[in-house]
Structure 1
Amino acid sequence: MSTATDVCELAVRVRDQLARRHPGAAIGELRPLPGGHSGLTYSVTAGDARYVVKAVPPGQRPIGRNDVLRQARVLGALAGTAVPVPGVVCVDETQPAWFAMDFADGEAVEPVLDEAAVSAATARARMLEIARVLRRLHDSDVHTPGLDAPEPLDAAGELERWSRTMRAVPAELRPGGEELLARLAVDVPGGLPPVLLHGDFRLGNVLCVGERAVAVVDWEIWSVGDPRIDLGWFLLFTDHRNFPQLGRAVPGLPTEAELLEAYLDGRPRLPNMDWFRALGRMKMAAIMGHNLRRHREGKHHDPDQERLPPTIAAMIRTARDILG
């Protein structure tokens, strides 16, 4: 956890960098932004300009979700492309590292999970719009400088990784989970040419103004790998029935088939999508089971996690149904 001293030290470093970029402008205070899931996230003003600052938490290693420099690299690689991302304006590699990017106006609302007031028609248009954004992301050149990544993610690797997460959840919290893992392992699809993956692509991570996507955000787990990994996850969020006790019905949202059609835009269908749809549900069940276990063990007290068991069970059940 950051202390007041840590924040003051970061503020001085940010102020020095922004003052050089905006000579004579008043530099505002760092203000925490809600909703950040990795590192420390702040907003700051420099004259009339507004920026978002992401920093490595003091005392923590800059790896995984805390590797903010890696996030800055992917944003820099996508700058000026058909994928809308915030522009990176400052990068400070001195540990604890941080970078600043343009503040993008807009709202990131997940229709089936969030209570924000977005009309059903707007929600539908946004989902179809970002399906096309995802296609443009997957069409990006993975050899662009800055997109150096470890071994590309494939179906087998994803199954192995998330099977470990699922099996770390007590069996009573994942009913039918072992059978689902066994069925996924029966016929693992071969890979497709690797593309740039966001890792958590959905409306909740895309800032929109009206029906237009203005910035894809939250790049903590980007990678290179099979495009169906992103797709299987994205398709989860079109149906509130995937989230019992959590989701809300939004009439008129695109079906999974409609989102796939928007993504493909006349290109050939992707093979074995049902396997990746089931994988996405298994991953969500594993994540929720992990969070519920941490709550019940007292490692992260959050009574709201007690609402998760019906959704965990539904994710596992529907994944098994998809696999036939």
Structure 2
Amino acid sequence: MSTTTEVAELGRRVRARLADRHPHEPPGDLRTLPGGHSGLTYSLTAGAVSYVVKAVPPGQRAVGRNDVLRQARILRALAGSPVPVPAVVAVDESEPAWFAMEFVDGEAVEPVLDEHRLDPGLCRTRMLALAGVLRELHGTASGEVPRSLDPAGELARWSATMRAVPSGLRPGAEELLSTLAAHVPDGTAPTLTHGDFRLGNVLCRGERPAAVVDWEIWGYGDPRIDLAWFLLFTDHRNFPRLGRAVPGLPTEEELLTAYLDGRPEPPALDWFRALARTKMAAIMGHNLRRHREGKHHDPDQERLPPTIAAMIRTAGDLLAQRSRRS
């Protein structure tokens, strides 16, 4: 948690760096932007121009989800590419580190999970357009080669998260994890991946994606990890008690077709679709556990058990179907 003094000092540093860009309209004070899941996020304006600032919390190091400098690097690497991202305008590596990027006006709405009044046809068009952005992302070089996660590594990561959840909150999880582990597919050449690619992390204007945001967990990995996660959000029935029906949203098959753009379907995709459901169940179980232990009070988390159970069950169904086809 930042104190008023710490925020004021950060604001002074940001304004000093941006002053040359606005000699006649000095930047104003930082305003906290809610909803961030890593580091600290602020907005500020200079005349008619707005910026977003992401900073490492005071007293912490730029590592993991707080590594805002790493986020700035990938945004700069993607500038001018077919993947739309906000433009980075300033980076300060001195502690606590921060960077400033342009404010992109747009809507970040997850159609099947968020409360909204968007036209269903618009939601469909945006989702299909985003499939093309994901395809472009997986074909883009970042100029940086971080450690990559193969299917086995990704499974190990989410298995550990799942097993930290009390067993009563994850019915059938042990059998699912065992089945996933017994059928890990061969990896493919790693590509640039976002890590949480979906409409809720994309600012859209009209029918088109204007900026892909929230790059905290980008990396190099198997592109099927991103793809399967993206496919998960097209059907509200994947989220009992949470999802809302949006008529006309593309099916998983339609979304996959848009992503492939005439290329053959990648092998073992059902395994990755099952892994995506396992990941979602593990994340939700982790959040529910934190709520019940009093670490992050949020009564809304009590709506999660039916979806956790459904994710585990349908993941098992996908693996069973794959086994029958083999």
Give, in whole Å, the separation in 2 of the partners of 1:211 and 1:179.
42
Give, in whole Å, the separation in 2 of the partners of 1:5 and 1:178.
48
Partner-residue secondary structure (3-state), 2:149: coil
The answer for the alignment partner of 1:306 in structure 2 is 302
1:149 maps to 2:127: no
What aligned pairs does 1:56-75 form with structure 2 within 5 A after superposition? Answer: 56-75=56-75
Give, in whole Å, the separation in 2 of the partners of 1:244 and 1:2.
37
Q: What letter is aligned with 1:277?
A: R
CA contact (8 A) 2:162 2:282 kept: yes
Give, in whole Å, the separation in 1 of the partners of 2:74 and 2:232.
25
The TM-score, its normalising length taken from structure 1, stands at 0.97
Give, in whole Å, the separation in 1 of the partners of 2:38 and 2:14.
19
Q: Percent of counterpart pairs with the same letter?
A: 73
| Range moving further from structure 2, 259-268 or 29-38 | 29-38
1:239 to 232, 235, 242: 235
Q: What letter is aligned with 2:158?
A: W
Q: What letter is aligned with 2:90?
A: C
What aligned pairs does 1:180-195 form with structure 2 within 5 A after superposition? Answer: 180-195=176-191
Partner-residue secondary structure (3-state), 1:51: strand
Q: How many Å apart are 1:279 and its aligned residue?
A: 0.1
| Range moving further from structure 2, 44-53 or 81-90 | 44-53
The answer for the alignment partner of 2:91 in structure 1 is 91
Give, in whole Å, the separation in 2 of the partners of 1:58 and 1:243.
37
1:208 maps to 2:235: no
2:251 to 255, 276, 287: 255
The answer for the alignment partner of 2:272 in structure 1 is 276
The answer for the alignment partner of 2:155 in structure 1 is 159
Q: How many Å apart are 1:61 and its aligned residue?
A: 2.1
Give, in whole Å, the separation in 2 of the partners of 1:29 and 1:258.
46
Give, in whole Å, the separation in 2 of the partners of 1:201 and 1:252.
21
1:138 maps to 2:138: yes
Q: What letter is aligned with 2:139?
A: D
Give, in whole Å, the separation in 2 of the partners of 1:9 and 1:281.
43
The answer for the alignment partner of 2:118 in structure 1 is 118
Give, in whole Å, the separation in 1 of the partners of 2:145 and 2:95.
21
1:228 maps to 2:224: yes
Instruction: Write out the 4+ residue segments of structure 1 that deviate beyond 3 Å after TM superposition.
Output: none
5+ unaligned residues in a row in structure 1: which ranges? none
Q: How many Å apart are 1:27 and its aligned residue?
A: 1.2
Partner-residue secondary structure (3-state), 1:233: helix
Q: How many Å apart are 1:33 and its aligned residue?
A: 1.3
Give, in whole Å, the separation in 2 of the partners of 1:94 and 1:311.
43
Partner-residue secondary structure (3-state), 1:190: coil
Give, in whole Å, the separation in 1 of the partners of 2:275 and 2:228.
7
The answer for the alignment partner of 2:324 in structure 1 is none
CA contact (8 A) 2:15 2:26 kept: no
Q: What's the RMSD between the two structures over aligned residues?
A: 0.8
Give, in whole Å, the separation in 1 of the partners of 2:6 and 2:263.
51
Give, in whole Å, the separation in 1 of the partners of 2:77 and 2:26.
30
Q: What letter is aligned with 1:209?
A: R
Q: How many Å apart are 1:26 and its aligned residue?
A: 2.3
Give, in whole Å, the separation in 2 of the partners of 1:61 and 1:318.
39
Give, in whole Å, the separation in 1 of the partners of 2:42 and 2:116.
22
The TM-score, its normalising length taken from structure 2, stands at 0.97
Q: What letter is aligned with 2:281?
A: A
The answer for the alignment partner of 2:76 in structure 1 is 76
Q: How many Å apart are 1:22 and its aligned residue?
A: 1.9
Q: What letter is aligned with 1:115?
A: E
The answer for the alignment partner of 1:18 in structure 2 is 18
Give, in whole Å, the separation in 1 of the partners of 2:215 and 2:101.
13
Give, in whole Å, the separation in 1 of the partners of 2:27 and 2:265.
51
Q: What letter is aligned with 1:135?
A: R
5+ unaligned residues in a row in structure 2: which ranges? 321-326
The number of aligned residues is: 320
Query: Alpha-carbon deviations, 1:261-313, whole Å to 9, x = none?
Result: 10010112100000000000000000000011111111111111111100000
Q: What letter is aligned with 2:146?
A: A
The answer for the alignment partner of 1:293 in structure 2 is 289
